Structure 1
């Protein structure tokens, strides 16, 4: 009647499965490595974020268009220098040569090979057996020689020297990698916090005072200047312009009246007969 505990299935994630206990060496290496790596990575991460922003800007607006243009030019050049000649070579040289070689193999070499196999079959079998026996003996000798001189010393070297050193190095590298990851993420959080603080300070020191001055001082002053100075000045300028135009028209009219009083009205030009038809259905030069 007791319920059996469920076994972890293969679909469970690795973090849900129980982890093996860590030794004292791992704990002793982890803490100082993470502290040193964090102090080293923090300025690198700040510099990396700045360089990444500059690189994104340069790539988006400078390098990407240049790379696309260069890629198109290189593609056209490669097509003209490689694809077109290789296509011509394949079509007019390699394809006919392949057909000729296939005909030679099928019509000449294959019949010759079949004839040679029919005539030399017993000799070939004996030679093959002798070669196989000699090759087998040489292979066995080489195997034991290589095992005694190479394999056994290599196994001893790996088991007693290289494997312990590799385990220690693996622990150091793993902890260094994890420390780099933690330090990189922490430096990223710190860099974003510093950026937010600098942005807030910039807004409080420059943007908000400038906005307050614009909204509280400059906008009312601008409205007063517009209503009391600029608008009356514009109206006065328009009135002066209208008065000047009226005076000009009056002066021209007085000058015309004076000329007419002194010299009389100007004579009208005499009409000239242009010898044009005056009928109803005809067209003249004025139409």
Structure 2
């Protein structure tokens, strides 16, 4: 058993009704499905042939045409127009905008900013002196005065609060508490007892009515519906389920058998097509076209190719000689106008100039000098 594969379900025992339905149903479905499967296989083969011979080359041609019409022009426009223009605009912006702005910032705005910062530091120092020498003593005096006024107002407020609290306690709280304890509590208890009694009575009446309705609905609706489900709908559903399962199995079985029949018919037709068309064409190609092609290649194409290579080699040599002649003439003309160019002194930049370098056999110190 493979790992991760669920075990096969055990087959349930089947009745005679299932077997009686299965055989004629499979025969009928097979007769109906075979033409459909053969038509489907023919459409699949036709579609694959069209895809390989028509659609794929057409798609490649459309891709090449789209690249030639849209991609390559935009690439050339970007590479040979927009990039040089952008580089030129960037250089102009650097020369006309960035360099003047940098000069203005360095030689105008920076000195003005330093002067403004010096003035701001002087003003801040003056404000700090005024705060320390003038505003802080005035603030301390005002704070001391406000503390005294606050203490007086606090004492007056405490006295007023005490008087108001005593009046509220004996004019409102004590009478309200007496009214709650002596009047409202007994009345509320009586009302709660009446409500509990009324609730118990309603509960008893509701329970009786509910029980009566339950049995009425059970006898009138539930038991008939249960009998209908158990003795009518369930057997009909089982029959329909068996019929649907058998139809599905018959369709799958017929589709597989029709595939095998279609494959056999396709192979027979392919073999017949190969015997009638492919084999004669292959023999004609092998016995007639191939020798003629070899004769044309050896007698015509190879000599023409050799002649084309010789002509091309001669043209390349002529072009190289003309290029050397033009280069030499340009050098002679430049030498005639400007004279011989000065020869630069060759120097080995990797070796230092001056005294010889140290070696193991020589020294420049006073103790080891020879």
TM-score between both structures, scaled by the size of structure 2: 0.37
Of the two, which has the highest radius of gyration? Answer: 2
Give the TM-score of the pair, scaled to structure 1.
0.46
Q: Which structure exhibits the higher relative contact order, with contacts defined as CA atoms closer than 8 Å and separated by 6 or more residues? A: 2
